[in-house]
């Protein structure tokens, strides 16, 4: 980045370069410190690990994601009854474990579309109880003994081999329960020496959440890392999430992939905000690409111009443009 660009990024007037070289130098150093470590290349984030091939948010899925070349590996974070961060997408256990068999009477009932549904909230089970569950039996029976990992176990497995992309799930829900998601995350990052930008060049960290306030609370707890603000699927435009990113100095937005187009990606880029959408997977390929997931990925990466992507299929990620990728009409 040249000097003029540094000044623009840091909001320093042109006169500073003439009359205050110290200000200019400080601005350049700060901009360099804040530069995203993957800038200049397309970023591959393994969504819940290589979750197309191994049980999501488990050590086998993380190991396979690294083997398949992921730059960052995602971990969704939940909190157990005894305050331990574990890797699990849902706030309840029944979708990916055998909790119904192990603890048949520990359910909560809620009404969904007029029908009573049984759920087993993560926060009502201790870590020991969570560890007694099987989290891998639903992927062709290949991983019958796989457990839900703690976030510390995930960090230990991934560190030095790829980066981390933790997502704080349901921080408002946990807040109502008296559990401080952001403090737990900040404390864990500090414990591992990963709470600052560039702390471990082999293990970059990108924080993400659908909660703007949750990301801000991470900063309040001393976390100095790039922040990705997620946007719900089927947004009519990306204006709102781009505006929030600008106002709160979030470096990245994460919209649903079908909500991205050249115009709104350019809009984000003009504001120095990267766009990393979710989720590219075999089950949700746009019909114009048939069953060719790499072609769809290539179109979004190199024609629409997104900066990276979340995918269940890290092995399909095209590091270079696929010429046969077709443009949307």
Q: Please give the C-alpha separations between residue 313 and each of 280, 288, 299, 310, 329, in angstroms, as whole numbers.
A: 8, 19, 16, 9, 26
Tokens found for residue 51: 């979750």
Contact criterion met (CB below 8 Å) for 311 and 280: yes
Burial (CB < 10 A; 0-12, 13-18, 19+), residue 13, is exposed
Tokens found for residue 271: 């504001």
Query: Residues 96-131, buried b or exposed e (16+ Cβ, 10 A)?
Result: bbbbeeebeeebeeeeeeeeeeebbbbbbbebebbb
Active site residue 47: yes
**Active-site annotation holder among 12, 71, 84, 89:** 89
Say which residues have a Cβ less than 8 Å from residue 316's Cβ, sequence separation at least 6.
Answer: 280, 293, 294, 297
How far apart CA 70 and CA 157 sit, in angstroms, is: 14
How far apart CA 49 and CA 44 sit, in angstroms, is: 11
Q: Please give the C-alpha separations between residue 239 and each of 130, 261, 265, in angstroms, as whole numbers.
A: 40, 12, 11
**Active-site annotation holder among 47, 48, 134, 217:** 47
Catalytic residues: 47, 89
């Amino acid at each position: 980045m040249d000097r003029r660009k540094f000044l623009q990024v840091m909001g320093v007037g042109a006169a500073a370069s003439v009359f205050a070289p110290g200000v200019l130098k400080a601005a350049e150093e700060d901009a360099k410190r804040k530069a995203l470590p993957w800038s200049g290349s397309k970023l591959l984030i393994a969504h819940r690990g290589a979750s197309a091939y191994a049980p999501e948010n488990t050590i086998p899925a993380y190991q396979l994601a690294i083997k398949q070349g992921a730059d960052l590996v995602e971990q969704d974070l939940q909190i157990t009854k005894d305050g331990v961060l574990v890797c699990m997408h849902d706030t309840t256990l029944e979708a990916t474990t055998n909790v119904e068999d192990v603890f048949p009477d520990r359910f909560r009932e809620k009404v969904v579309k007029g029908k009573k549904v049984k759920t087993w909230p993560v926060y009502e089970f201790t870590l020991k109880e969570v560890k007694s569950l099987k989290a891998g039996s639903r992927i062709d029976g290949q991983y019958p003994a796989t457990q839900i990992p703690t976030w510390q176990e995930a960090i230990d497995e991934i560190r030095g081999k790829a980066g981390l992309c933790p997502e704080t799930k349901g921080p408002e829900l946990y807040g109502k329960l008296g559990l401080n998601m952001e403090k737990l995350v900040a404390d864990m990052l500090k414990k591992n020496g990963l709470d600052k930008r560039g702390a471990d060049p082999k293990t970059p960290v990108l924080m993400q959440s659908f909660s703007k306030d949750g990301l801000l609370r991470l900063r309040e707890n001393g976390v100095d890392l790039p922040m990705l603000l997620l946007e719900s699927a089927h947004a009519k435009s990306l204006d709102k999430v781009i505006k929030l990113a600008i106002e709160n100095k979030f470096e990245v937005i994460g919209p649903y992939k079908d909500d991205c187009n050249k115009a709104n990606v350019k809009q984000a880029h003009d504001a120095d905000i990267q766009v990393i959408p979710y989720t590219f997977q075999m089950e949700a390929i746009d019909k114009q690409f048939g069953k060719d997931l790499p072609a769809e990925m290539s179109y979004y990466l190199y024609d629409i111009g997104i900066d990276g992507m979340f995918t269940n299929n890290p092995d399909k990620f095209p590091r270079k443009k696929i010429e046969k990728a077709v443009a949307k009409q």
